[in-house]
Amino acid sequence: MKPSDISRKSECLCHVEPADLTPLPFPYEDYNDRTITALKPDKIKSIESSLDDTVAVGIPKPAGEEEEKAFVERFLAGLKKLFEKENNWTFLQPLILSMEHCAKCQTCSQACPVYEMSGGKDIYRPIFRAEVLRRIYRKYIKPGGKISARLTGDIDLNWTTIARLAELSYRCTLCRRCATVCPVGVDNGLINHEIRKLFSQEMGIAPKEIHDKGSVLQLSKGSSTGMIPLAARDSVEFIEEEMEEITGCKVNIPWDVEGADILLLHNAGEMLAWPENVGAFAIIFQAAGISWTLSSEAVGYDAVNYGLWYDDVQFSRVAVRHADIARRLRVKKIVMGECGHAHKALTVIADRLLTGDLNIPRESAMVTLDNIISSGKLKLDPMRNNFPVTLHDPCNIVRSMGIVEPQRRILRKIAPLFREMTPHGVDNYCCGGGSGFAIMSGYNFSEWRTLLSSRKKFLQILDAFSGEPEDMPKYVCAPCSNCKGSIRDIISYYDAEERSRIYYGGLVELIVNAMTDMKKPIISFGGEPSWA
């Protein structure tokens, strides 16, 4: 399939059949005849669904030619802004470099888990969507582009092209594995990010889960979970009680302590879905005698910043709120909890935004925890974690930020049966839920995610535990909230808890589980305590 085929009107550009997908091994062969369930015609009659039998965004079809024309014009106006210095000072330079240089060697395709797991469907090549944008850019933005387009490859810019491109930008997890292998430094992840940005900032097109129920909700209520400050405090109060009940350890979680050494930012989803993660952080910080605090101000108790994936404006609003809360609390540094995208958002991408007194030192919890463990302040018995453990490397923490060793140093001290996935570290594979996918479940998208974008991770997990008895509990350590959500969904979809006794959780839970001060284990497997 050629990039120009994206503008060819058809009912579906690319079908994914069960036989296309990389097969799963024993005891999961019965899943090999599954593919994405077709959406009911009445559900999709008024939205764009002609890309790949899947819908993530759901762009309304135009009512007539006038609307269609206006849609194309809005896209072109946004495209122009994307390549203007004053409108895209954040990413213009790497975007142009990636637009201008591509040797078409396809090395990136071999690195992309979505392309590989799909059985090599052309539309999922990293270069496919990049090349669509590149041709439109050359034709409409570069001088003399309309003439040279005939030589370099033309694309008909119609409503179908644009709507499919918007959907296609949500078939890539922005894991940037492709970028690390490109011999000329093209970043197809960045190109995809910029496509999403154009659609969101200029056309108001973005998945509801990350925009309306994500950034907008966070800025208006205080958290993308919808939790207002009072509810966050209630949740944490409940966590304090629960921690005492589970571990026998009394814990106090401090709020709004001015001048504390650390402002800890959790993904607020942890408070609701994985309260033991929030509690485990508190137990560790308390035992290590750390001066720390949470913030009860709206946005200050939720590290989430979904704008990182699709919209610079939303991104900046949240990042500035985070830094300003830390500034007013006069903390010495911000520590990012187990949330990968929040790490990258506030520590790396926001770096050019947070200047002056907003430039508060920011640190990864992987580093903070490594320092605590290395200091010897916690008494640990690794034999309490005497079950197979493997580590998932969140793309944003590991590949994008280079934080590879701190979490491993910890695991080598507390998990005697720790084994690496293949490959791991900066070569890791995404959980499949990156860039918002873990929380996107509209239409039939969650099925696409589980069957396709998370498939490689599931195979890696099975491989890491191959050779272990089926009835022995196994722990996937995923120190990122979104990754945990994605891994939870894989385990549930493939019935892996029942079939292979695979469980998942964070890093802090493993640390607390090994602490000799705990009277009872924090980790249990299907209700069975991990140690007696």
User: By the criterion CB under 6 A, which residues form the site for ligand SF4?
Assistant: 102-108, 111-112, 114, 126-127, 172-178, 182, 184, 186, 188-189, 192
Q: Which is nearer to ligand SF4, 192 or 223 (CB)?
A: 192
Q: Which is nearer to ligand SF4, 174 or 414 (CB)?
A: 174
Q: Minimum distance between the CB of residue 167 and ligand SF4, rounded to whole angstroms?
A: 14
Determine the Cα–Cα distance for residues 410 and 423; give it in Å rounded to an integer: 19
Q: Which is nearer to ligand SF4, 181 or 417 (CB)?
A: 181
Give the residue carrying structure tokens 């990182």: 308
Q: Minimum distance between the CB of residue 125 and ligand SF4, rounded to whole angstroms?
A: 8
Q: Minimum distance between the CB of residue 173 and ligand SF4, rounded to whole angstroms?
A: 5
Dihedrals φ, ψ of 503, to 5°?
Answer: -125, 175
Closest CA to 346 of 425, 264, 232: 264
Q: Minimum distance between the CB of residue 40 and ligand SF4, rounded to whole angstroms?
A: 28
Q: Minimum distance between the CB of residue 105 and ligand SF4, rounded to whole angstroms?
A: 4
Determine the Cα–Cα distance for residues 14 and 95; give it in Å rounded to an integer: 27
Q: Which is nearer to ligand SF4, 50 or 118 (CB)?
A: 118
Question: What are the b/e assignments for 323-343, b being 16+ CB within 10 Å?
Answer: bbbbbebebeebbbbbbbbbb
Closest CA to 304 of 395, 211, 426: 211
Q: Minimum distance between the CB of residue 1 and ligand SF4, rounded to whole angstroms?
A: 16
Q: Is 94 exposed, middle or buried (0-12, 13-18, 19+ CB in 10 A)?
A: middle
Q: Which is nearer to ligand SF4, 198 or 502 (CB)?
A: 198
Tokens of 340: 């990968």
| Other CB atoms within 10 Å distance of the CB of residue 356 | 7
Q: Which is nearer to ligand SF4, 396 or 407 (CB)?
A: 396
330 — alpha (psi -120 to 50), left (phi > 0) or beta? Answer: left
Q: Which is nearer to ligand SF4, 192 or 277 (CB)?
A: 192
Q: Which is nearer to ligand SF4, 129 or 139 (CB)?
A: 129
What percent of the residues of the chain are helix, what percent strand, and what percent coil, each to the nearest 5?
55, 5, 40
Q: Minimum distance between the CB of residue 149 and ligand SF4, rounded to whole angstroms?
A: 19
Question: What's the gap between Cα 38 and its chain centre?
Answer: 26
Give the residue carrying structure tokens 């999709």: 44
One-character DSSP codes across 146-195: HHHHHHH------HHHHHHHHHHTTS-----HHHHH-TT---HHHHHHHH
Q: Minimum distance between the CB of residue 52 and ligand SF4, rounded to whole angstroms?
A: 14
Q: Which is nearer to ligand SF4, 127 or 271 (CB)?
A: 127
Q: Minimum distance between the CB of residue 120 and ligand SF4, rounded to whole angstroms?
A: 13
Residue 475 CB partners (closer than 8 Å, separation 6+): 385, 387, 388, 389, 390, 503, 504, 505, 510, 523
Which residues partner with 389 through β-bridges? 418, 475
Q: Minimum distance between the CB of residue 396 and ligand SF4, rounded to whole angstroms?
A: 12
402 — alpha (psi -120 to 50), left (phi > 0) or beta? Answer: left
Q: Minimum distance between the CB of residue 111 and ligand SF4, rounded to whole angstroms?
A: 6
Q: Which is nearer to ligand SF4, 54 or 223 (CB)?
A: 54
Residue 390 CB partners (closer than 8 Å, separation 6+): 418, 419, 420, 421, 461, 464, 465, 474, 475, 476, 477
Residue 477 C-beta-side C-alpha neighbours within 13 Å: 26
Question: In sequence order, what E strands does 330-483 have?
Answer: 333-336, 362-364, 389-391, 418-419, 474-477
Q: Which is nearer to ligand SF4, 178 or 514 (CB)?
A: 178
Q: Minimum distance between the CB of residue 215 and ligand SF4, rounded to whole angstroms?
A: 21
Residue 16 CB partners (closer than 8 Å, separation 6+): 35, 36, 52, 53, 118, 119, 121, 452
Q: Which is nearer to ligand SF4, 381 or 427 (CB)?
A: 427
Q: Which is nearer to ligand SF4, 99 or 323 (CB)?
A: 99
Which residues partner with 418 through β-bridges? 389
Give the residue carrying structure tokens 């509209």: 442
Q: Minimum distance between the CB of residue 462 and ligand SF4, rounded to whole angstroms?
A: 20
